[in-house]
Amino acid sequence: MTNRDLAADLTGEPLSVTEGQTEDEAFDGGDEGDLDVSAADGVVLEKNDRSLAEFHRWKQTGRLIVDPEWQRQYVWDRKRASKLIESVLRDIPVPVIYLAKNTDGKYEVIDGLQRLTSVFDFLDNAYPLRGLELIPHYNGKLFRDLTDSDQNKLQDSTLRTFELSPQTPKDLMFVIFERLNTGGIRLNDMEIRNCLFRGKLNTLIKGLAGNEDFLTCVNQRNLERRMSDRTLVLRFLAFYERTHYKARQGLKRFLNEFFEIYRNASDDKLREFDREFKKAMRACVTIFGDKAFRLRREGGTGGNEWAARPNASIFQVISSSMARYDIGQLTRRCDAIFEEYLDLISTDERWVDCVRVTTGDASRIDYVFERWQKRLAEAIGQESPNDPVRAFSKSLKEQLFQQDSTCSICGQSITLIMDAALDHDKHYWRGGKTVPENARLVHRHCNQARPD
C-alpha cells in the first residue's frame, strides 16, 4: 500500500502535498504551518486480523501499549462499551484498529483506545453489561457470567488492524495521526508528538510544564487540558537548542526534528535543558510578572490592557533569549528590559504583525527574533554577569564559627556548626561575589527561609 492509498483509506480523499494549518487552541499565535510530505515518502503498512484474546494477552504482557498518557483518556461510558461487546457477539462490524510497531517490537495504539479498553475491561470482569437491545438477557452480566460458547466467541472474534512499521518516516506518520480521529476529537500536534516521540525528553517536558515560575508568568487556566503547556515548553527547548536559523521549513517540521533528535538525549543534556528552562522562567517572572508573553489590546475600562492569553510566538522568542544571559544580568536590568518590550510592541507594527499571523514563515520568525534580541542586548548594556562560583568553602565556615557563632539573620547563637551555613551578605543575584568579605554566618534554617 502506498502513502497515497493509505491517506485515501484514512480520509476518503487522495493525499495532497500540504495539509491545512493546525492552530494550538489554548493560546494565541500557535500556527505551526504545514508539513510538506512528498509522494515518494515510503510507508510499510500491514493488514492483519487479530483475535481479542491475542490483544488481551499482548496488553497483559506489555506488548500492546495502550497508554492514556498520550492518547485521549478513556471516556466511553459503560453503556457504550456494552454496545461494543454486543456488536462483537452478534457479528456486527467494528471499525479497524490502527497500530504502530516500534523498534522494540511492541505495538502502540494509534486509533482504537476506546474500543480496546472496553474489551479488556469486560474480559477482566470490570463491569456488567447494560443497555443491550439485541441480547437483553445479558444485561447485568459480567464476562464470567456468559455461556462458555459466548465467552469463546468473544475471545476468538477478530478485529482488522492496520499496522505501521518502525521504518515509516516520522513526517508521514505525523500526517497519519492527524488524519485519524480518536474518541471523536482530533488529536492536536502535541498530543501526536507525545505518542510518536516517547522517551526521556518527553518525560522532562511533562515535568517542566508544572514549573511554578512557568505557570505564574504564562498565567492561563486549563493550559494542560490539550497539552498546550507542553507545547510551550517544547518551543522553548527547540529554539534554545537549535536557534531560529534552523526553522526554515515550518515550525511543525522544526519541532518534530528537535523531538526526534533529542528523544532520548544524554542525562547531561537533559539537565542542561532543565536548568536553562527554569532559569528563563525565573527571569520572565521577575521581568514581566504574571502578564508575560502578551500583546496590549486597545480599549476597555483600563485603556490599553494586556491580552488575556499568552502568545506562543512571543513566548518562544522572549523565553529562549533569556538563555543568552546570566540570571544576575537579567535581574538587575529587569526594568530596562521591560521598557524595551513595551516600546517594541508599541512602535514596531511589523513585529506585532509577525507574531499574530503567518507565524511559521521563516522570514517572519527571523524578524521577530532579531529585533527582540537587539533590543534585549541594548537593555542589558554593559551589565556584568554574576560570579560563577556559588558555594563558600567548609574551612571558611569553620573559621567564622570560631570567631563569632551569632546568626547574622536572627541574632541568636548557633549552638552546633552543623546547624550553620554561609550566606551571601550582598545577594548573589545582585552581583554579590563568593568571597570571604561577602560571607556571613547564619542558621541553616534562617538561610533557607530567606527570600530569593
Per-residue pLDDT for 298 more than 80? no
* Residue 65: band (very low, low, confident or very high) from pLDDT cuts 50, 70, 90: confident
* Residue 26: band (very low, low, confident or very high) from pLDDT cuts 50, 70, 90: very low
* Residue 39: band (very low, low, confident or very high) from pLDDT cuts 50, 70, 90: very low
Per-residue pLDDT for 19 more than 60? no
What average pLDDT does the segment 344-362 reach? 93
Of 356 and 196, which is predicted with more confidence? 356
* Residue 420: band (very low, low, confident or very high) from pLDDT cuts 50, 70, 90: confident
Q: Note the pLDDT of residue 225.
A: 80
Q: Note the pLDDT of residue 159.
A: 92
Q: Note the pLDDT of residue 60.
A: 94
Minimal CA–CA distance to 381: which of 429, 432, 325? 325
* Residue 332: band (very low, low, confident or very high) from pLDDT cuts 50, 70, 90: confident
CB 344 within 8 A of CB 375: yes
Q: How many CA atoms does the CB half-sphere of 356 hold within 13 Å?
A: 12
Q: Note the pLDDT of residue 57.
A: 96
The average confidence (pLDDT) of the chain is 82
Of 42 and 175, which is predicted with more confidence? 175
Of 416 and 372, which is predicted with more confidence? 372
- The most confident of 44-48, 163-167, 378-382, by mean pLDDT: 378-382
* Residue 274: band (very low, low, confident or very high) from pLDDT cuts 50, 70, 90: very high
Q: Which amino acid is present at 277?
A: F
Q: Note the pLDDT of residue 300.
A: 46
C-alpha cell at 217: 508568568
Per-residue pLDDT for 265 more than 50? yes
What average pLDDT does the segment 203-210 reach? 95
* Residue 98: band (very low, low, confident or very high) from pLDDT cuts 50, 70, 90: confident
11: left (phi over 0), alpha (psi -120 to 50) or beta: alpha
Please, what is the angle between helix 170-179 and helix 3-11, to 10°?
Answer: 20
Q: Note the pLDDT of residue 119.
A: 96
Please give, one letter per residue, the 3-state secondary structure of the chain. Answer: CCHHHHHHHHHCCCCCCECCCCCCCCCECCCCCCCECCCCCCCCEEEEEEEHHHHHHHHHHCCEECCCCCCCCCCCCHHHHHHHHHHHHCCCCCCCEEEEECCCCCEEEEECHHHHHHHHHHHCCCCCCCCCCCCHHHCCCCHHHCCHHHHHHHHHCEEEEEEECCCCCHHHHHHHHHHCEECCEECCHHHHHHHHCCCHHHHHHHHHCCCHHHHHHHCCCCCCCCCHHHHHHHHHHHHHHHCHHHCCCCHHHHHHHHHHHCCCCCHHHHHHHHHHHHHHHHHHHHHHHHHCCCCEECCCCCCCEECCCCEHHHHHHHHHHHCCCCHHHHHHCHHHHHHHHHHHHHHCHHHHHHCCCCCCCHHHHHHHHHHHHHHHHHHHCCCCCCCCCCCCCHHHHHHHHHHCCECCCCCCECCCHHHEEEEECCCHHHCCCCCHHHEEEEEHHHHHHCCC
What average pLDDT does the segment 215-237 reach? 92
* Residue 103: band (very low, low, confident or very high) from pLDDT cuts 50, 70, 90: confident
The Cα–Cα gap between 427 and 411 comes to 19
The Cα–Cα gap between 226 and 217 comes to 19
Q: Note the pLDDT of residue 379.
A: 92
Per-residue pLDDT for 444 more than 70? yes
C-alpha cell at 432: 554579590
CB 56 within 8 A of CB 50: no
Q: Note the pLDDT of residue 299.
A: 53
Q: What is the dihedral of CA 68, 73, 74, 80, to 10 degrees?
A: -150
* Residue 370: band (very low, low, confident or very high) from pLDDT cuts 50, 70, 90: very high
Q: Note the pLDDT of residue 1.
A: 40
Q: Which amino acid is present at 177?
A: F
Per-residue pLDDT for 304 more than 90? no
* Residue 378: band (very low, low, confident or very high) from pLDDT cuts 50, 70, 90: very high
Pairing mode, strands 158-164 and 97-101: parallel
